[in-house]
Amino acid sequence: MKSAFTCFLFVLLFTSRLSFAQTGKFRWWNPETATFPVIEGQAWPEELKSPYDRLPARAEKQVREPVWDLAGMPSGLMLRFRANSAEIRVRYVVSGQHALQHMPATGVSGVDLYALSNDGDWLWCAAKYAFGDTIAFDFKNLNPNDNYHKKGREYRLFLPLYNKIKWLEIGTPEGTEFTPLAVRPDKPVVVYGTSIAQGACASRPGMAWTSILGRKLDRPLINLAFSGNGMLENELISMISEIDAKMYVLDCLPNMTIRPNDPDSDLTIEEVYRRILASVRTLREKRPGVPIVLAAHAGYTDGDINPQSKHFYTEVNETLEKAYAALKSEGIKELYMIPKEDFKQDTETMVDGTHPNDLGMMRYAEGYEKHIRTILHEQTDAFSTTKPLTQMRELYNYDWEARHREILELNKKSAPTNIIIGNSITHFWGGMPKGPRAVGEDSWMDTFGKNARNLGYGWDRIENVLWRVHHGELDGNPINRIFVNIGTNNLHLNTDNEIVEGWRLLIEAIKYRQPQAQITMLGIYPRRAQEARVENLNKKLALLTGETNVNYLDPGKVFLQKDGKIDETLFSDGLHPNAKGYSVLGKAIKPFVK
Render pLDDT for 425-483 as a digit per residue (tens, 0 to 9): 999 999 999 999 999 999 999 999 999 999 999 999 999 999 999 999 999 999 999 99
Please state the rounded mean pLDDT for residues 409-421. Answer: 95
Confidence tier at 260 by pLDDT (50, 70, 90): confident
Q: What pLDDT, on the 0 to 100 scale, is given for residue 208?
A: 98
Render pLDDT for 278-329 as a digit per residue (tens, 0 to 9): 999 999 999 999 999 999 999 999 999 999 999 999 999 999 999 999 999 9
**551 CB neighbour count, 10 Å cutoff:** 14
CB 181, CB 40: distance < 8 Å? no
Please state the rounded mean pLDDT for residues 212-225. Answer: 98
What stretch of H or E contains 228? none
CB 248, CB 287: distance < 8 Å? yes
Please state the rounded mean pLDDT for residues 546-562. Answer: 98
- Of 549, 552, 519, the closest CA to residue 537 belongs to 552
- Given a cut of 70, whether residue 160 has pLDDT beyond it is yes
| DSSP alpha helix (H) spans, 414-554 | 424-427, 441-448, 462-470, 496-513, 531-548
- Given a cut of 50, whether residue 2 has pLDDT beyond it is no
194 Rama class: left (phi>0) / alpha (psi -120 to 50) / beta:
beta
Q: What pLDDT, on the 0 to 100 scale, is given for residue 11?
A: 44
- Given a cut of 50, whether residue 573 has pLDDT beyond it is yes
Fold of 24-184: Jelly Rolls (2.60.120)
Render pLDDT for 18-65 as a digit per residue (tens, 0 to 9): 333 334 799 999 999 999 999 999 999 999 999 999 999 999 999 999
Superfamily in which the 186-376 domain is placed by CATH: SGNH hydrolase (3.40.50.1110)
Fold of 387-592: Rossmann fold (3.40.50)
Q: What pLDDT, on the 0 to 100 scale, is given for residue 296?
A: 98
Render pLDDT for 343-402 as a digit per residue (tens, 0 to 9): 999 999 999 999 999 999 999 999 999 999 999 999 999 999 999 999 999 999 999 999
Q: State the virtual CA torsion across 274, 275, 281, 283 in degrees, nearest 10.
A: 180
Share of the chain above pLDDT 70, in %: 96
Phi, psi of 241 (to 5 degrees): -65, -15
- pTM (predicted TM-score): 0.95
Q: Where are the domains of the chain?
A: 24-184, 186-376, 387-592
Confidence tier at 5 by pLDDT (50, 70, 90): very low
Q: What pLDDT, on the 0 to 100 scale, is given for residue 23?
A: 44
186-376 and 387-592 in the same fold: yes
Phi, psi of 89 (to 5 degrees): -115, 145
Confidence tier at 246 by pLDDT (50, 70, 90): very high
- What crossing angle do the helices spanning 269-286 and 307-329 adopt, rounded to 10°? 40
Q: What pLDDT, on the 0 to 100 scale, is given for residue 33?
A: 97
Q: What pLDDT, on the 0 to 100 scale, is given for residue 143?
A: 96
Q: What pLDDT, on the 0 to 100 scale, is given for residue 266?
A: 83
